[in-house]
Amino acid sequence: MLVVVNQPLINDFRIEGTLSSTFLDNLRKEFGDSMKIIKQDDDEGWVNVEDLDWFKEAVAKETPGSNLRFYRKLVGMTQKKLAEKLGMNKQHISDMENGRRAISKKTAKELGKLFKVSPARFI
């Protein structure tokens, strides 16, 4: 969908993508006739991401170690820094990330708190 607003004292702006009906209603209230919907695809439906092949493949490849690496990198933390926070050495973190060492329940709980996610992501 493409929405274009042209109103005096406001530069033209465009919003593209999937827009909720609430968002569109608010735009209509604010800009009235100045807003034009250029294209609206009514036949586009919602798709459950869990039904998509790429999602199924990604979940199949997911391991506790790959999750640990993902969350560590997501927050910009090095293996060394994570090891310091957990009272371990860097090699221990590397071994967990690469599946050479299991992640204990205790460590999973600590990781869950640290990354603000369920400890189950690391078991």
Sketch the domain layout of the chain as residue ranges: 2-39, 63-122
The predicted model scores a pTM of 0.58
Closest to 7 measured CA to CA, from 26, 38, 24, 32: 32
pLDDT in single tens digits along all 123 residues of the chain:
555 555 555 556 677 777 788 888 888 887 777 777 766 555 556 677 788 888 888 888 899 999 999 999 999 999 999 999 999 999 999 999 999 999 999 999 999 999 999 999 999
Is the domain covering 63-122 a CATH 1.10.260.40 domain? yes
Q: What is the pLDDT of residue 1?
A: 55
Under 8 Å between Cβ of 92 and 83: yes
Q: What is the pLDDT of residue 57?
A: 86
